[in-house]
């Protein structure tokens, strides 16, 4: 139960930062390109934070308490999977990932900026 709570609480934080950036970029670039740009913008920070957090929880794996060791290793693996798997899922599924939103149809595009006539 503790592992599940840690994974949900920690995984959601990283995913929110990445997905919000991808959602902002999707109307102009499409889902795959938006996720690539979102990873380029925020990926270094999210990936390094995920790796540091996983390392912190792996340290619990050396404790003599079996329950704490299992919890630490499970959370570390879960954080790493969440850090690297979310962009892969978005890229693979593409537009249907936004399903209840208009972005799922792929038809929402922001208008191109117009040039000012001088």
pTM for the structure as a whole: 0.65
What is the chain's mean pLDDT, rounded?
Answer: 78
How far is it, in rounded angstroms, from Cα 50 to Cα 18? 12
Separation of first and last alpha carbons in the chain: 65
Q: Is the distance from CB of 83 to CB of 47 less than 8 angstroms? A: yes
**Predicted confidence (pLDDT) at residue 115 exceeds the cutoff of 70:** no
Helices H, strands E: what count in the chain? 3, 0
pLDDT-based confidence at 107, cuts 50/70/90? low
**Predicted confidence (pLDDT) at residue 112 exceeds the cutoff of 60:** no
Instruction: For 62-95, write each residue's pLDDT tens digit.
Output: 888 888 888 888 888 888 887 788 788 888 887 7
pLDDT-based confidence at 35, cuts 50/70/90? confident
How far is it, in rounded angstroms, from Cα 94 to Cα 78? 23
Q: Among the ranges 1-5, 24-28, 92-96, 97-101, which has the highest mean pLDDT value?
A: 24-28
**Predicted confidence (pLDDT) at residue 113 exceeds the cutoff of 80:** no
Structural domain spans, the chain: 2-104
Structure confidence at residue 110 (pLDDT): 53
How far is it, in rounded angstroms, from Cα 37 to Cα 96? 19
Structure confidence at residue 48 (pLDDT): 84
DSSP state of 115: P
């Amino acid at each position: 139960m503790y592992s599940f709570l840690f994974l949900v609480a920690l995984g959601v934080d990283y995913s929110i930062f990445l997905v919000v950036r991808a959602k902002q970029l999707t109307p102009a670039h499409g889902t795959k390109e938006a996720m690539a740009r979102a990873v380029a913008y925020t990926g270094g920070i999210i990936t390094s934070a995920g790796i540091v957090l996983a390392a912190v929880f792996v340290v619990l794996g050396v404790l003599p308490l079996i329950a704490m060791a299992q919890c630490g290793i499970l959370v570390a693996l879960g954080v790493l999977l969440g850090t690297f798997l979310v962009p892969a899922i978005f890229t693979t599924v593409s537009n249907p990932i936004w399903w209840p939103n208009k972005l799922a149809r792929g038809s929402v595009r922001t208008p191109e900026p117009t040039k000012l006539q001088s």
